[in-house]
Amino acid sequence: MLESKTRKVPTLCRICLAHCGVLATITDGKLTKVEGDPDNPMFKGYCCPKGRAIPDMQYDPKRLLASQKRQDDGSFAPIPSGQAIDEIAVRLSRLIAEHGPRSVAMYQGTSSTAQALATPFALGFLEAIGSPMFFTPATIDQPGKLIALALHGYWMGGDLDFEKSDSWILVGTNPVISKAVGVPSVNPGLILKRAQQRGMKLVVIDPRESETAKRAALHIQPRPGEDASILAAILNVIISEGLYDKDFVAENVAGFNALAAAVAPFTPEYAAKRAGVPAQQMIEAAHLYARADHKTGMVNAGTGPNFTLRGNIIEYLALCITTVCGAWGRAGQPVNRPNVLLPAFTPKAQPAGPFPAWGFGEKMRVRDLGMSAAGLPVTALPEEILMEGEGQVKALICMGSNPMAAWPDQRMTQRAMEALDLLVCIDVQFSQTARLADYVIAPKVHLETPGTSYTCENIKYYTIGFGFPGAYGQYSPPLVQPPEGADVIEEWEFYHGLAKRMDLDLHLTAYYGFSTFEESPPLRVRIGRDDTLDTQELHMKLCSKARIPIEEVAKYPHGHIFDVEAIVEPRDPDCTNRLDIGNPYMMDQLAGILKGDSPTRQSDSEFRFRLVCRRHNNFMNSSGTQLPRLNRGRPFNPTYMHPDDIAALGLASGDSIAVSSRHDAIPSILQEDVSLRRGVIAMHHAFGGLVDDDDKYPSQGSNIARLICNEAEYDPITGIPRMSDIPVNVTRAPVPA
């Protein structure tokens, strides 16, 4: 018997944007274990359950090892990847010739982070055919971040280091679980514990006592939908008591008087009445955050507040609090997130000023929606597919995405998917959306491809609080081969294959954040239709302007924190730019909140509860929900409810229930959760099947998107509908047979 050969190899996880440094155990060429890498200088051995489950994902029996084509009877049969691309190219060419380039759209999901080359190639392909129809989750996740940043302006000195700050405010975000905004994702639980031990005054605003809220010096637990009122009240206290940084405001800020007037009616007492919390908590939050005797940190909001139809104003007020307190990188300070695989730039202690938030680019044919700083509105895409006439979308390519699980208004989404002339999914399995596709392209996954920290580094430009806190970089070559006999390709190969068959040359663009504000313009790389390409060479091309050459980064297989001298430079003497905290549109939003009837709506007798969203530590959106190692025998998303509310309804934890909104109803399983505020229920998004799969909810969960109507309530800029703080009822339902 031959002796097994086992080796441990450092690499990086690519399931989410944290990109944790991990160790892969490979036995006889097969990936057998993934764990945290104790020799990684940034993550120091940390790895979440999703990363540890990579081997299960790699060898999941449900993984597609060959591309699939829908047959005339609705079933699927394997098809060689080259033949699938041949046929797709013919059908796309025919649609473009008959209906124009706009008839082809593309949706990029969060799983594309695993394939750093996928987005440049996808955008290059759309540019080559002349279609502007590129959509991302940015308009159905946290679009308020991008809208607010555009109206407020960008600070060229960068954000602050969480671990060097003495105060911070988090609104509706739980980074211990989400690994997202605010607390660095390099081990958020440990970082929060250390912050607590050193006396950081963390303020968390959340209707649930989340894992993050348990670490807070002050947890404000309001009614859902009142985050803007609370932030306005905190600003009221900071301004009225003179706790703001007067010198910073005088030199760098416009609109201070307008903001002061707009928040004046939001007294702590008024906000307390609306939010159902003690007025003293707003006063205490302002004092904890804006004390003059410590290093003030920043304010970050999460997905939940952005789902409430007030994401724009919530994110804007978060920036306003940060700005009036001068909580930005100052001259002489080290840059918190210096570039490594991105080009070097000169950080300066000055504003770049506001930039266009909407009113430019492609217009939708529906609801007067169009391009914004957050991109094209995803919720308009189903209508663009269903609406006949010039400009109708006929073909959709889904990359790293699952619209049937992620998009709001699931019934409309399914009608749209079924109405397409051509639906192509690049997916590792038959997801809900892939089940409706004409072709499913089977890709390589995770450690079968090279990995780079480039994507996570670049995300810092999305909003404050993202990215690596330091000059960190990592590159890893492929570590394992796909299973024997598999016909799988890298995602970029699909687009290059289409280009070759459609006689197109591609131009890849590597965007470096807000390149207008920095010295380095976007890098353009021409890819010929007949070029012979190599993945590693492509990574090198797209990182050819890196501060640290990718070849140098690759010398450190465990990742490396580079010795980069990046200091915030002083303000230019002739700089006249200012950060705008009194934008008229946003001030009107605040005035509209004052006119609202929140107390009446919250006591609405027709709908007793408010449904809010909730993150899960084991799943990245819909990815992994059916994996036994991650769902641990519970492949459904329960409805969490306070035990006193359960008792008042005469129900018990584990009962089958129906959750109904004004739009629709879904079945679910009840679970008690004492961490929730009474009157609030919570569910995880991205579970469930197709619209006719309700009876399967114990084995696959239910889709919250069914409760949401795209056209009833939506933001007029980004089109995001009400996706949290949804008025609902809960009633007993029969147990499925």
pLDDT tens digits, 473-486: 999 999 999 999 99
Tell me the three state secondary structure of residue 449.
Answer: coil
Q: What pLDDT is stored for residue 737 in this prediction? A: 66
- What is the average per-residue pLDDT within 120-148? 95
Query: Quick one: tokens of 599?
Result: 């107390």
In whole angstroms, give the CA distance from residue 153 to residue 77. Answer: 52
Whether 529 contacts 124, CB under 8 Å: no
pLDDT tens digits, 59-107: 999 999 999 999 999 999 999 999 999 999 999 999 999 999 999 999 9
In whole angstroms, give the CA distance from residue 62 to residue 85. Answer: 23
Range from 234-243, 320-329, 402-411, 611-620 carrying the lowest mean pLDDT: 611-620
What is the CATH class of 65-128+372-576? alpha beta
Query: Quick one: tokens of 615?
Result: 């993150």
The answer on pLDDT for 313 being more than 80 is yes
* Domain boundaries defined on the chain: 65-128+372-576, 143-330+578-586, 604-732
In whole angstroms, give the CA distance from residue 150 to residue 356. Answer: 6
The answer on pLDDT for 599 being more than 70 is no
In whole angstroms, give the CA distance from residue 175 to residue 686. Answer: 19
What is the CATH number that goes with domain 143-330+578-586? Answer: 3.40.228.10
- Give the model's confidence band at 316: pLDDT under 50 very low, under 70 low, under 90 confident, else very high: very high
For the chain, the maximum distance between any two Cα atoms, rounded to a whole number of angstroms, is 81
Place of tokens 């602050």: 160
- What is the average per-residue pLDDT within 526-553? 91
- What is the average per-residue pLDDT within 362-384? 97
Alpha helices in 100-187, H assignment, sequence order: 118-129, 143-152, 175-178
> In CATH terms, is domain 604-732 a member of 3.90.1660.10?
no
pLDDT tens digits, 285-298: 999 999 867 788 99
The answer on pLDDT for 8 being more than 50 is yes
Q: Would you call 652 exposed, middle or buried from its count of C-beta atoms within 10 A (0-12, 13-18, 19+)?
A: exposed
CB neighbour list of residue 669: distance below 8 Å, 6 or more residues apart: 636, 638, 639, 654, 655, 656, 657, 697, 698
In whole angstroms, give the CA distance from residue 439 to residue 395. Answer: 12
- Give the model's confidence band at 515: pLDDT under 50 very low, under 70 low, under 90 confident, else very high: very low
pLDDT tens digits, 202-221: 999 999 999 999 999 999 99
CB neighbour list of residue 465: distance below 8 Å, 6 or more residues apart: 159, 181, 182, 298, 300
Q: What pLDDT is stored for residue 600 in this prediction? A: 40
Angle of CA points 678, 679, 681, to nearest 5° = 95
How many helices and strands, by DSSP H and E, does the chain display?
26, 32
Q: What pLDDT is stored for residue 464 in this prediction? A: 77
Query: Quick one: tokens of 104?
Result: 């082809």
Query: Quick one: tokens of 205?
Result: 């605003």
- Give the model's confidence band at 603: pLDDT under 50 very low, under 70 low, under 90 confident, else very high: low
Query: Quick one: tokens of 562?
Result: 């580079």
In whole angstroms, give the CA distance from residue 386 to residue 567. Answer: 52
Whether 26 contacts 54, CB under 8 Å: no
The answer on pLDDT for 514 being more than 80 is no
Q: What pLDDT is stored for residue 639 in this prediction? A: 97
- Give the model's confidence band at 414: pLDDT under 50 very low, under 70 low, under 90 confident, else very high: very high
pLDDT tens digits, 678-711: 999 999 999 999 999 999 999 999 999 999 999 9
Whether 441 contacts 494, CB under 8 Å: yes
Around Cβ 286, how many Cβ atoms within 10 Å? 25
CB neighbour list of residue 602: distance below 8 Å, 6 or more residues apart: 223, 225, 276, 610, 679
pLDDT tens digits, 671-681: 999 999 999 99
In whole angstroms, give the CA distance from residue 534 to residue 525. Answer: 14
Average pLDDT, rounded, for the chain: 92
Amino acid at 67: S
Cα radius of gyration (the chain)? 25
In whole angstroms, give the CA distance from residue 223 to residue 724. Answer: 12
Angle of CA points 353, 359, 364, to nearest 5° = 145
Query: Quick one: tokens of 339?
Result: 């570039």
- What is the average per-residue pLDDT within 372-383? 97
What is the share, in percent, of the chain residues with pLDDT greater than 70? 97
Q: What pLDDT is stored for residue 516 in this prediction? A: 46
The answer on pLDDT for 420 being more than 80 is yes
Beta-strand relationship, 134-135 and 104-108: parallel
Query: Quick one: tokens of 196?
Result: 């607590």
